Amino acid sequence: MAASMDIVIQKYFAENSEEAAKELAKDLNKNSDRFLAFIEQLESHLTSTDNVTRGRATQFIGDVLELLPVAFLTTEQTEVVARFLLAKLCDTHSVQPHALKSLAVLTNRCKLLPNGLPEDICRTIFREIQNQTLSHSDRRSTYSIFQNLLGYSNKAVEQMGGDFVIGFIQQMDAEKDPRNLLICFNIAHYVSSRMPLGPFTEEMFEVLGCYFPIDFVPSPNDPQCISKEELVSGLRKCLAATADFAEYSLPLFLEKMTSDLQEARKEAMLTLIACAPVYRGRLTAYLGSLTSTLKREILMNISNDLVSAARQCIQAVYSAISPDELVENSMNDTLSASIVELYQDSVKYFDGSDTKKSCLAFSMFTSVAAASAKAFCVVTPLVLPSLLSHCSQSSQVSDQLLYMKELKDLVSLIQQFNSYKDVVQVIKDNHNALLELYETKLNQTDNIDLQLKSIEGITLLTSPSLCDAIDKAQVFATTLLQKSLHITDPLLRKSVLSSLHNLVLQSPSLGPDIVKSLTQACDSGAAINLVFDTLVQVVVNKDLFQIVNEFLLQRLSEVKTEDVSDALERIKSLARLFVQMKSDEQCVGLFLHTTVLQLLQSSVASTLQWTDASRECCALYMTEMRNFFKTLSQYLEKSDIISMWNRLTQLMLESNTTNIGIVGDFPTLKPLQPTSPWQHTRLITLLEGFITGGDIQAMVDHRETIFESMFILSQECEDSFTRASACRCLAVIFNKAPIGGEIHWLLEPLLERLRQALSPDRPLMNRLRALNTWLWLTKASECRGHSATSILSSYLFALLDDSELGPDVATGLAMIVQDMDDVFSPALRSNVTPLYKQRFFSLNIRTLLEGYERNKATGRQEHFLTAISSVTSYLPLQVLKPHLAKLVPMLLLGLKQDNSSLSNTLTLVSSAILHATEEVTPSVDELTNQLLDLAHTHKAMKVRILSLQCLESMTSLPVHKISPLQTKVVSNLARSLDDKKRLVRKQAVSARCAWISLGKSKK
Amino acid sequence: MGGLDNANPVVFQATKERSVLPEEEDDSIVDKFDSREIFDLIRVINDPEHPLTLEELNVVEESKVKVDDNANTVHIYFTPTIPHCSMATLIGLSIRVKLLRSLPSRFKVDIEITPGTHDSEIAVNKQLADKERVAAALENSHLLDVVNQCLS
Amino acid sequence: MFPFQGIVHTQTVKRLKEMHTLTEVETLSGHSDRVWCVSWSPNGSLLASCGGDKSIRIWGKEGEKWICKSILTDGHTRTVRSVSWSPCGMYLAAASFDATTSVWSRKAGEFECLATLEGHENEVKSTSWACTGNLLATCSRDKSVWIWEVTADEEFECASVMSTHTQDVKRVKWHPNKEILASCSYDDTVRLYREQADDWECFTTLKGHSSTVWAIDFDKTGSRLASCSADATVKIWQEYEPGNPECVATPDNVSTWKCVCTIGGYHERAIYDISWSHLSGLLATSSGDDSLCIFSEIHSSDSRNQPQFELVARVRGAHSQDVNCTVWSPTEEGLLASCSDDGTIKLWKLERDEK
């Protein structure tokens, strides 16, 4: 055994030290007793007269220890080894580093050091080691030892008191290596924050402060290098470690804060932000200089960065000197005195001659006010009056906006301090002035931004802590209400309504009065859409719900068939009311039992009233009803859906009108019969809406019957509204029906019937109806990625060859790639596969291109061209991109065709120009000629405008490709400047100016 | 360049986009050029000195634009922000160039300073009316860059 | 002060007017920008034109058609403002905004650039050859008029620089048979120069126009000068030599020139050019109102001191934009050339209406 250990030791010195250390550690790990034996074995080397051998032997101990588990050595063993290593510290200077290294390992591995040892280690190091004469890695050993001792034996070190402090200071003094410095900062932070520095405070500060601000650029060759930020935060923590540093660091910060170097100023401020909460009262001695320096920084307005740092800093300073508790009515304290002084120094900026400066000064006081509730109470009465007067008296809107922003920032602080009575009182004192300002702004300007700022302000004033009296809330409510009846700007409206909503939520007793005045406004000629919108927004509870519900239902029982606009708004608002209160069970119940029933009754009753003259009104009315039922089923619980479904199907299938509360006899309705009057068949759109919105799993009974009936209606009904509704309904059922359900078995026979209806010997009318249904089914199928998809779509492509139906198929294909969020969307629980449109395009574009080639001789190639235009114009460009090389020539051909898809083609060309430069560039000459021609001669202004837009987008192509065309395009575009349509001229100006300044903008 | 002529100009609010009337969407109706259309062309021109448009500085106003579509004439008065504004000619030139690029060539365009609003009114007016000088100015690439900046 | 001055309106003329019709004969297209100037060669066989496209075009007649025979593009880097032929028809001088004047010589039908005259500080606006062909005048926005001497070996030496105008000089024009030079300017005046004691001097300044004088032209005799201006009028100036019968004072024994007639009310905008035919005595004017006007002098009792002119033909919308220049053919009576911002040159024929 001993022999083998000896061999390993020989190996360590002879060749592979790492390997040897590993071998030995593995061996020792089995038996810790042998550690001392190992030291003994090593003795000849440890006592060798050769310094190098002695040093390596000393380090061998550390190398082995490092590979052994933590706490491997017993306390006694530790003591022996440590003492030995301490002795080696006193050896010659070439052995010292090895001893340090091993000690560093020892203090790291052995956590439980015998009493007295930590102190001895420290004292020996302090006595024997001239740290700054060692290499940077050896210095690191020294620091590691301290760090380890402070970690595991901190009590013992702390007991050393000043001896350790001064010892450490001497060891770290003048350290230059960034890694070492980072460790030093950690130690210094520990020492400064946990140990009394006593007489050594200044020394400690000196040894740290000399690095401030950190000036360090990491070496580009060292990827793991310490970053400047790590050093900065390390030092910042040290300086903020104790308030005792304040008297030394504050003059230093002040000096740096007035430096010419922006970096230094910023760092000084950020450090002060970190120190302020620790220094607290110590700041008072320097308060005047600090605040005036920070004020200067803010007003100089060098960069947003600096201003923001200075503002945070002034806030931190005042926050630090603020008393913990709000002392009432005492202005004689330091805080108040300093703020007042700062105000007196700054008051000259508030004269308004320089808006920028005044706003900066105001923002500074907002930061001061944010420091504490006390500060807020001092600042606000000082600056608010002049801020208010600037807001109201500035002659320019842009200035008003700036001041309003400052005002809002100041007043917003109320949210932070609303638990302080005094703060609330300060705002309350100015309540009227603020409200007056905001109201004036709301009423006197048409600048949206100013109005928005005013609404924000009013919203703040209506917060619960400020608006505690009902009469005040009432004042706000009146203001907001008035605005809500006029404002149409969506952003502003949203803000007014949400403010009003919160106000009613806060004081529900306001509700009935608001509703009352709204309903009166309705009679006195206010725009009903705005009134209804506001009405719905103020509904916050069941009582209000009932009142508003009842109000909206008025006049719905009798439909004025010649003018349905009022009814439409009411139905729309009822749907919104439902959404607003959908989570309130009682309201929903009420809604189902009164509102829904009444609407059903009204629709059924109206079937008697529509005449051929009011067909259009009926369509609008029924469409709104459809949307209502769609919204209803979208948010209903499953059980409610089931009962509503039964009610609706009974009405449709059995003409059961008593079920919906119609008393007495009502003529028999057969909405599902194609031969019924259109007034009856149009009722199916209610069912369609209901199916579109809700979960089809809850609509089980009679579903197949409905499906079949809808199919018949879609083919045979004479009313186009009914047919369209039936098609949508079919498509939705097909799209939503559960996989493997009966519907899918119905599909194949149904398609067979459609194929027959589509055969060329049938009348065109029948063929077109069948085509429309086929298109809808294809859309539904593509949407969910159904297995029948390819059958459906390939049949459509085959129909493109049909000389009679081809053009309709070609334009109809657009439907498949169009978004139809109203019919199919995840929110409506439809099955929508992501990227289905893209898949449709990628799978079928080749067919279309081939069809075009194949039909060049037949004259039917136009159908394919139109189909390509229809499909491509709704797809995102990145989908088209791989095909653009082929598509661009087709698009150019498409430009020659004067048909309805010309404008879509132009839209696509325009985006191709912008996003597929490479593909477009080769055809640039031909494209220019065609576009110039269209822009000048085409009869439709839309086409002329789009052509001009394309020409304008062409200026984004590589300049060298298009500059040869510049003269020609500029002179040709002059013709369009005199187009008879103003909108064309506008686009011509824009395109021509773009061509004139070709290449110049890039300078 | 020295400091700004007028460092702190009064800013006026910009007009909203012209709303499109139904007859403007109708292909069969001829839209005559009117003062608003010309005004829309020039109101967005940037001032050479401020990050503001001529409209925001009230240099151009719709009421000071006269157009007669049948007689092919356009007359514009513009008002420099201050009577000794050294940029008056440049502003006038920018307006002229913008209209050269944007109006059909059949229009005869006169651009003049609002009477009584500039110290060198007559000299500036004469210079702006001299097509030869305007043509030469626009071949000066430095000046053209400045004008293009105003028009961008 | 000017007893003879007066505005002649057609209404005051009592006799029957002899009306003429100006008919467009041909339109020459080719310039890709506005055409500033067109000029007949002395024998009337060639036309030179120039413009904003920085080129000079030479047009000649082939059969019945005028076609472009050469395009000189490498002479100037900016607009070529005007061109003028030497009296022998062998040289062509071109003035450009690039501050130079180029002189081209015609050899075997080909044009080559003989010299580029530098000296003006900025845009050169006009050039004119003296009747002898030994002197060339140029003028510029730098307010100066230069006279160049043509040496025997086809070199050009500056003989004099005259800076009497206070503004931009728009046009120079030599007397048809004396070495007297006229110039007109943005400073609203016309000035006349002569050589005196081996140097050139301005001997008289003609004031009367209220805005820029764009062009001037002498009549056949050179004792009358017509000027046209941005004030939309034409003025006729008469020379009174020392010892004239009207006893008009001639201080320092130098001819006095007086405005004897102002023709106004025909053009609505600036008149950019005027041409006084040496064959027919008719005046042609072109204007920013897109029109051309032809005026004829009425035989009257005192045509020297109180000449009267009447409008005998007018073409409104002669071009679709400003008409920059108009000039009578030196050899074919009634043939007129004009050019415009619309990029075209037009040839017109004036014919007396059949009664």
Size of interface A-B (CB pairs under 8 A): 50
Residue A13 has pLDDT above 90, yes or no: no
Flag if B135 and C168 touch (Cβ within 8 Å): no
Closest-CA residue of chain A to B42: A989
Cβ atoms A602, A608 nearer than 8 A: no
Å between B30 CA and nearest CA of chain A: 5
User: What residues of chain A have any CB closer than 8 angstroms to a CB in chain B?
Assistant: 354, 395-398, 447, 939-941, 974, 977-978, 980-983, 985-986, 989, 992-993, 996-997, 1000-1001, 1003
Chain B residues with CB under 8 Å of C212 CB are 126, 130
To the nearest whole angstrom, how far is the Cα of C132 from the nearest Cα of chain B? 30
pLDDT tens digit sequence for C202-226: 999 999 999 999 999 999 999 999 9
Distance from CA of C183 to the nearest CA of B (A): 17
Q: Report d(CA A856, CA B112) in Å as an integer.
A: 61
- Cα angle C117, C118, C122 (rounded to 5 degrees) comes to 125
Contact yes or no for A964/A921 (Cβ under 8 A) = no
pLDDT score recorded for residue B78: 95
**Average pLDDT over chain A, rounded to an integer:** 86
- Smallest Cα distance from C120 to chain B, Å: 15
CB contact under 8 A, B11 and A985: no
Mean pLDDT of A575-591: 88
Cα torsion for A415, A416, A420, A422, to the nearest 10°? -70
Q: For the ranges A322-336, A563-577, A648-662, A787-801, which has the lowest average pLDDT?
A: A322-336
- In sequence order, what are the residues at sequence separation of 6 or more whose Cβ sits closer than 8 angstroms to the Cβ of residue B43? B14, B15, B53, B54, B55, B60, B62
Pairing relationship of beta strands C46-51 and C35-40 according to DSSP bridges: antiparallel
Q: What's the complex ipTM? A: 0.92
Which chain C residues have a beta carbon less than 8 Å from that of B106? Answer: 320-321
Interface check for B17 against chain C (CB to CB < 8 A): the answer is no
Hey, are the CB atoms on C211 and B132 less than 8 Å from each other? no
Q: Nearest C-alpha of chain A: how many angstroms from B106? A: 9
Distance from CA of B136 to the nearest CA of C (A): 7
* CB pair distance less than 8 Å for A978 and B104: yes
- What pLDDT does A701 receive? 86
- Tens of pLDDT, residue by residue over A721-746, are 999 999 999 999 988 888 777 777 77
Classify the C-alpha dihedral A440-A443-A445-A448 as positive or negative: positive
Q: Is A88 exposed, middle or buried (0-12, 13-18, 19+ CB in 10 A)?
A: buried
- SS3 label, residue C293: strand
Distance of CA A223 to the CA centre of its chain: 33
Yes or no, beta carbons of B31 and A1001 under 8 Å apart:
no
pTM here?
A: 0.60
Instruction: Tell whether B70 lies on the interface with C, counting CB pairs under 8 A.
Output: no
Residue C1, both tokens:
């002060």
Residues of C in contact with B126 (CB under 8 A): 186, 211-212
pLDDT in tens, A368-425: 999 988 889 889 989 898 888 888 887 777 788 888 889 989 988 888 887 888 888 8
pLDDT tier at A26, thresholds 50, 70, 90: confident
Q: 3-class DSSP state for residue A178?
A: helix
Number of alpha carbons in the 13 Å side-chain half-sphere of residue A475: 15
pLDDT tens digits along A130-181:
888 888 889 999 999 999 999 888 898 999 989 999 999 999 988 888 889 9
pLDDT tens, position by position, A239-274: 999 999 999 999 999 999 988 888 899 999 999 999
Q: How far apart are CA A346 and CA B79, in angstroms?
A: 37
**Which residues are bridge partners to C311 per DSSP?**
C295
Residues of A in contact with B101 (CB under 8 A): 989, 992-993, 996
B38: left (phi over 0), alpha (psi -120 to 50) or beta: alpha
**pLDDT at position C10:** 35
Instruction: Report CB contact under 8 Å: B139, C269.
Output: no
Query: Which residue among B106, B126, B136 places its CB closest to the CB of C123?
Result: B136
Please state, in angstroms and rounded to a whole number, the distance separating the CA atoms of residues C18 and C310: 10
* Element of type H or E holding A513: helix A511-523
Q: Which residues of B touch A943 (CB under 8 A)?
A: none
pLDDT band at B37 (very low <50, low <70, confident <90, very high): very high
Q: Which residue has the tokens 């540093």?
A: A245
Q: What is the pLDDT of residues A84-124, one digit of tens each?
A: 899 888 888 888 999 999 999 999 888 888 888 999 999 99
Q: Which residues of A touch B104 (CB under 8 A)?
A: 974, 977-978
DSSP B64-129: GEEEETTTTEEEEEE--SSTT-TTHHHHHHHHHHHHHHHS-TT-EEEEEEPTTS-TTHHHHHHHHH
Measure CB to CB from residue B139 to each of C97, C341, C342 and give the nearest one.
C97
User: What distance in Å separates residue A935's CA from the closest CA in chain B?
Assistant: 14
C261 neighbors C6 (Cβ within 8 angstroms): yes
Question: For residue A139, how many other CB atoms are within 10 A of its CB?
Answer: 25
Compute the distance between CA of residue A690 and CA of residue A685 in angstroms, rounded to an integer. 8
Closest chain B CA to residue C185: B130
Q: Who wins on pLDDT, A904 or A67?
A: A67
Q: Does residue A1 register a pLDDT over 50?
A: no
Q: Hey, which chains touch B, using 3+ CB pairs under 8 Å?
A: A, C
Nearest to C47 by CA among C31, A77, C32: C31
Query: Which pLDDT band, with edges at 50, 70 and 90, does A332 fall under?
Result: low
CB contact under 8 A, B27 and A1001: no
C-beta separation of C208 from C217 below 8 A: no
B104 contacts A996? CB cut-off 8 A: no
The per-residue pLDDT for range A432-464, each reduced to its tens digit, is 888 888 888 877 777 778 888 888 888 888 777
Distances, alpha carbon A536 to alpha carbons A518, A595, A596, A634, A636, in Å:
11, 15, 17, 19, 19
Interface test with B, best of C142, C209, C212, C325 (most B CBs within 10 A): C212
pLDDT in tens, C89-139: 999 999 999 999 999 999 888 899 999 999 999 999 999 999 999 999 999
Phi/psi for C43 (5° steps) reads: -90, 5
- Residue C24 tokens, joined: 């467009």
C97 Cα to chain B: minimum distance (Å): 7
For residue A663, name the pLDDT band (cuts at 50, 70, 90): confident
- In 3D space, the residue among A820, A819, A798, A799 whose CA is nearest the CA of residue A808 turns out to be A799
Average pLDDT estimate for A622-627:
93
Four-point Cα dihedral A328, A334, A336, A338, nearest 10 = -170
pLDDT of A819 above 70: yes
- For residue A128, give the nearest of A104, A100, A107, A150 by alpha carbon: A100
Under a CB-based contact definition with an 8 Å cutoff, are residues C193 and C183 in contact? yes
Rounded-to-integer distance, Cα A406 and Cα A399, Å: 11
Q: Which of B105, B135, B136 sits opposite C320 (nearest CB)?
A: B105
| Listed residue (A135, A131, A907) closest to A146, CA to CA | A131
Phi, psi of C137 (to 5 degrees): -110, 145
Q: Are A806 and A863 in contact (CB under 8 A)?
A: yes
| Cβ burial, residue A695 (10 Å; 0-12/13-18/19+) | middle
pLDDT average, residue stretch A956-973: 89
Neighbours of C299 (CB within 10 A): 9
CA distance C321 to chain B (A): 6
Reported as half-sphere exposure (CB side, CA atoms, 13 A), residue A163 has a value of: 14
Helices then strands, counting H and E runs in chain B, come out as 6, 3
Above pLDDT 70, what percent of chain A?
97
CA atoms within 13 Å, Cβ hemisphere of B94: 27
- Contact predicate C56/C49, CB 8 Å: yes
Interchain pair B133, C141: CB under 8 A: yes
Residues in contact with A793: Cβ distance below 8 Å, sequence separation at least 6, in sequence order: A778, A782, A816, A840, A843, A844
- pLDDT at position C11 is 32
CB distance B101–A996 less than 8 Å?
yes
Contacts of C52 in chain B (CB under 8 A): 135
Which of A981, A984, A987, A992 is the best substitution to test chain B (most B C-beta atoms within 10 A)?
A981
Domain ranges of chain B: 32-151
Q: In angstroms, rounded to a whole number, what is the distance separating the alpha carbons of residues A877 and A873?
A: 9
Asked if the B32-151 domain carries CATH number 3.30.300.130, the reply is: yes
Q: Are C114 and C130 in contact (CB under 8 A)?
A: no
> Is residue B9 very low, low, confident or very high in pLDDT (cuts 50, 70, 90)?
low
Percent pLDDT > 70 in chain C is 94
Between A515 and A466, the more confident residue is A515
Q: Which of residues 139-158 of C touch B (CB under 8 A)?
A: 141
Identify the burial level of A365 via C-beta atoms within 10 angstroms of its C-beta, where 0-12 means exposed, 13-18 middle and 19 or more buried.
buried
Strand segments (E) across A879-987? none
Tens digit of pLDDT at every position of chain C (355 positions): 333 333 433 333 334 456 889 999 999 999 999 999 999 999 999 999 999 999 999 999 998 899 999 999 988 999 999 999 999 999 999 999 999 999 999 988 889 999 999 999 999 999 999 999 999 999 999 999 999 999 888 899 999 999 999 999 999 999 999 999 999 999 999 999 999 888 899 999 999 999 999 999 999 999 999 999 999 999 999 999 998 888 888 888 899 999 999 999 999 999 999 999 999 999 999 999 999 999 999 888 888 899 999 999 999 999 999 999 999 999 999 999 999 999 999 999 998 876 5
pLDDT higher than 90, residue A24: no
Secondary structure letter of residue C313 according to DSSP: E
